[in-house]
């Protein structure tokens, strides 16, 4: 399921999202991984058409 608040649309039409897996149970996780999980990423280009259909008012 896609949540509208989980994605931001950039000026070029890409979908920006947060990386999952940083909320809890991180005691044994290396610090480098936690830093990487804290950064944002872009959805894959193959998911772009699906997200445009699911989020029609994002544009």
**Which residue carries 């936690």 as its tokens?**
34
Per-residue confidence (pLDDT) for residue 27, from 0 to 100? 96
Number of domains in the chain: 1
The enclosing domain of 53 has a CATH number of 4.10.410.60
Residue 3 Rama label (left phi>0; alpha psi -120 to 50; beta): beta
Domain of 14 in residue numbering reads as 4-58
Instruction: Please tell me the distance from the alpha carbon of residue 31 to that of residue 28, in angstroms, as a whole number.
Output: 9
Of the two residues 32 and 3, the one the predictor is more confident about is 32
pLDDT of residue 59 exceeding 90, the answer is no
Per-residue confidence (pLDDT) for residue 23, from 0 to 100? 93
Confidence of residue 1 (pLDDT cuts 50, 70, 90): low
Q: Which residues contact 53 (CB under 8 A, 6 or more apart)?
A: none
Q: What six digits make up the tokens of 20?
A: 């999952």
- Dump pLDDT digits (tens) for 9-58: 999 999 999 999 999 999 999 999 999 999 999 999 999 999 999 988 88
């Amino acid at each position: 399921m896609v949540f509208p608040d989980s994605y931001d649309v950039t000026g070029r039409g890409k979908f920006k999202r947060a990386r999952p897996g940083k909320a809890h149970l991180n005691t044994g996780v290396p610090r480098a991984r936690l830093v990487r999980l804290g950064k944002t990423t872009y959805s894959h280009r193959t998911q772009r058409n699906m997200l445009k259909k699911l989020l029609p008012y994002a544009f």
